[in-house]
């Protein structure tokens, strides 16, 4: 008989960490605890960096924790689809209008295009769920391409510093994800199968730098009377900082 889609370990994906080694109810202990801790820590940072928009990251954190706890088929789909719909929301509201396809004439039309594309992608995700994570990671290359195009038009050193940090954290993150996925036998042989936990931390750090950049460029396009500035908390001189966007007073345009 087919296992229940809610059953433990009914998912198509199983990460490298051993299952039920430290708890009888948590499949991947470190992936679950790590995700729960990060989710709790990044709640205030989400509001600091993206204000109300940070709430779109909440379901992804909750569903990811549920997935690693149960390794269920439903948990896997909820985890992946929450990320897909969060990305869709980000594209819908913050994708620069200058990059719209030529046949799209307004933000409203773009919302429809994004919605239809997301709906189709959602239905396709049920065909082969094991491929969903690879497809979602590929979206990062489009985001990096857009960032590169924007950086070519920007000479603000703080923006470039923030973008460089974002890319470095992302490279470390995707390297950890690929290592856990493709080199699991090696890590299990040396009793260190925790690279997916590193992925959680590193991709969160990359998002911490990505979000202010999205805000910066959105303000540049949508609020031309303001001049956005990247600031760092608690200090510019610190190695690890929380970047945020400050708006200078409106200035008169000729």
21 is in an annotated binding site: no
pLDDT of residue 254: 45
Instruction: Compute the C-alpha angle 130/183/179, nearest 5°.
Output: 75
109 is in an annotated binding site: no
Residues contacting 8, CB < 8 A, separation 6+: 27, 70, 71, 72
Strand partners, 248: 227
**What's the pLDDT tens digit per position in 120-163?**
999 999 999 989 999 999 999 999 999 999 999 999 999 999 99
Mean pLDDT value of segment 195-199 = 96
Mean pLDDT value of segment 101-117 = 95
Q: Percentage of the chain with pLDDT > 90?
A: 72
Q: Which of 104-108, 143-147, 233-237 is predicted least confidently?
A: 233-237
160 is in an annotated binding site: no
191 is in an annotated binding site: no
pTM for this model (two decimals): 0.90
Phi, psi of 7 (to 5 degrees): -70, 150
142 is in an annotated binding site: no
Mean pLDDT value of segment 162-184 = 97
**What's the pLDDT tens digit per position in 35-79?**
877 766 555 555 544 544 455 567 788 899 999 999 999 999 999
């Amino acid at each position: 008989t087919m296992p229940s889609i809610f059953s433990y370990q009914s998912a198509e994906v199983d990460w490298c960490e051993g299952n039920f080694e430290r708890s009888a109810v948590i499949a991947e202990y470190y992936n679950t605890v790590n995700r729960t801790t990060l989710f709790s820590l990044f709640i205030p940072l989400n509001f600091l960096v993206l204000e109300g928009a940070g709430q779109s990251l909440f379901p992804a954190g909750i569903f990811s924790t549920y997935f690693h706890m149960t390794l269920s088929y439903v948990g896997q789909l909820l985890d992946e689809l929450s990320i897909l719909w969060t990305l869709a929301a980000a594209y819908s509201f913050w994708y620069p209008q200058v990059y719209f396809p030529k046949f799209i004439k307004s933000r409203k039309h773009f919302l429809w295009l994004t919605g239809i594309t997301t709906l189709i992608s959602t239905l396709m995700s049920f065909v082969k769920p094991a491929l969903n994570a690879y497809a979602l990671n590929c979206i990062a290359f489009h985001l990096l391409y857009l960032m590169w195009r924007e950086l070519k038009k920007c000479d603000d050193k703080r923006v470039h510093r923030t973008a460089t940090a974002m890319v470095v954290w992302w490279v470390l993150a995707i390297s950890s994800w690929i290592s856990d996925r493709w080199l699991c036998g090696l890590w299990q042989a040396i009793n260190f199968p925790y690279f997916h936990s590193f992925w959680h931390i590193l991709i969160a750090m990359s998002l911490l730098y990505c979000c202010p950049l999205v805000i910066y460029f959105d303000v540049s396009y949508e609020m031309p009377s303001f001049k956005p500035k990247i600031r760092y908390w608690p200090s510019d001189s610190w190695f690890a900082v929380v970047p945020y966007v400050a708006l200078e007073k409106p200035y008169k345009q000729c």
